[in-house]
Amino acid sequence: MIHLSGIHFIREERHILQDVNLHIEQGEHWVLLGRNGSGKTTLLEMMNGYEFPSRGTVDVLGNRYGQCDVREVRKKIGYISQSLFEKLNLNDPVLEVVATGEYAFLRFYQEIPQEVKDRAFQMLERVRLAHLAHQPLGKLSQGERKKVMLARSLMMTPSILVMDEPAAGLDLYERERFLADVNDLSKQDITVVYVTHHIEEIIPLFTHVAIIEQGKLIASGRKEDVLTPEHIYQAFGIDITLEWFQDRPWIKVIENRS
């Protein structure tokens, strides 16, 4: 479904990614875990066709980037990021914002088809925000805005849903409510790729984890095999113990090595 092979990415003589090999199959849900600046977001941008490797190949949904119309592939990829949110108009009604996901627009300048409005309302019901359908986007809380972005991304019925640190800025309550909605995606035929540097966001939905540090893949595979104290130390430089509770990993910091 998503295959990144021998990926190198160089920008201004700096190696952002170095020999990354990552293969995501249908039915798997992945977390890309690593510090800020480790290269996670660059990998997402390659999956979406917004960046292209200096060396290596990117294949998504059977299409090799550089040999296909990337715009057509993007129609099958839902995308949630802060940079995308910042391009939306805070004065637009929530229902219209969600409806733009049907066409990957940022804003409507003509009448929205009724069937699209109906579908957008259904998406809002799904994330429990139907009561805010006619409120301006800017009036919503941070948690509600994240749910709007999730509803918007599902409008196109994507094969892949890519999320770049979607829970950033949320308090504990809002984060857990948002993650509950993400976890419900297990009921759909969607492959989820989720970027974070917070281990506690690895909810039961996720089957696999790739840990990235300084542009290199430290480990990748099933989450139970990858999430070890040794791998966490390699990525974050801290000693931890790790326990599983309700199929989620939780850590305790032991001490920092000198």
pLDDT tens profile 110-124: 888 999 999 999 999
Q: What is the spatial distance between Cα 116 and Cα 98, in angstroms, rounded to a whole number? A: 10
- The two tokens of residue 241 are 């113990």
What mean pLDDT do residues 133-147 have?
94
* % of the chain surpassing 90 pLDDT: 82
- Identify whether 23 is part of a domain: no
Q: Which domain holds residue 43?
A: 1-18+35-69
Q: What pLDDT, on a 0 to 100 scale, did the predictor assign at position 110?
A: 81
Distance from C-alpha of 229 to C-alpha of 242, rounded to nearest angstrom:
7
Q: Say if residue 81 is in the same domain as residue 179.
A: yes
Q: What is the mean pLDDT of residues 121-148?
A: 94
Whole-number pLDDT of residue 187 = 84
- Lateral strand order in the sheet of 191-196: 77-80, 160-164, 191-196, 30-33, 208-213, 216-222
pLDDT value for 104: 77
If pLDDT is split at 50, 70 and 90, which confidence band does 256 have? low
Same domain, yes or no: 101 and 177 = yes
Is 143 found in the same domain as 126?
Answer: yes
Last residue of one domain, picked from the residues 151, 167, 196: 196
Spatial CB neighbours of 194, under 8 Å, sequence gap ≥ 6 = 29, 30, 31, 32, 163, 166, 182, 201, 206
Q: Helix, strand, coil % (nearest 5) of the chain?
A: 35, 30, 35
Same structural domain, 79 and 65: no
| pLDDT for the residue numbered 106 | 79
Judgement on whether residues 185 and 102 belong to the same structural domain of the protein: yes
CA 101, 105, 110, 113 dihedral sign is: negative
In a domain, 178, yes or no: yes
Indicate the number of domains in the chain. Answer: 3
Residues 6 and 79 occupy one common structural domain: no
Instruction: Verify that 174 and 84 share a domain, yes or no.
Output: yes
> What's the CA gap between 120 and 209, in Å, rounded?
32
Q: Is residue 247 part of a domain?
A: yes
How does pLDDT run across 51-68, given as a tens digit for each residue? Answer: 999 999 999 999 999 999
In this structure, is residue 24 part of a structural domain?
no
Q: Give the predicted TM-score (pTM) of the model.
A: 0.90
Mapped onto helix, strand or coil, the DSSP state of residue 218 is strand
Does 219 map to a domain? yes
Cβ-proximal residues to 54 (8 Å cutoff; 6+ apart), any chain: 8, 9, 10
- The pLDDT of residue 105 is 79
Mean pLDDT of the chain: 93
Domain assignment of residue 149, yes or no:
yes
Whether 90 and 192 share a structural domain: yes
Inside any domain, residue 147: yes
Q: What is the C-alpha separation between 230 and 81, in angstroms, rounded?
A: 30
Q: Does residue 204 belong to any structural domain of this protein?
A: no
- Same domain for 187 and 225? no
**Mind listing the pLDDT tens digit for each residue in 179-211?**
999 999 888 889 999 999 999 999 999 999 999
Predicted confidence at residue 257, as pLDDT, reads 55
- Tell me which residue of 254, 192, 198, 247 sits closest to 224, measured CA to CA: 247
Asked if 78 contacts 162 with a C-beta cutoff of 8 angstroms, the reply is yes
Backbone angles phi, psi at 257, to 5 degrees: -75, 140
Buried b (16+ CB within 10 A) or exposed e, 63-77: bebeeeebeebbeeb
Confidence (pLDDT) at 182: 93
178 shares its domain with 213: no
pLDDT digits (tens, 9 = 90+) for 232-247: 999 999 999 999 999 9
Pair 185, 242 in one domain: no
Residues 158 and 229 in one domain: no
Of 196, 219, 241, which marks where a domain is finished?
Answer: 196
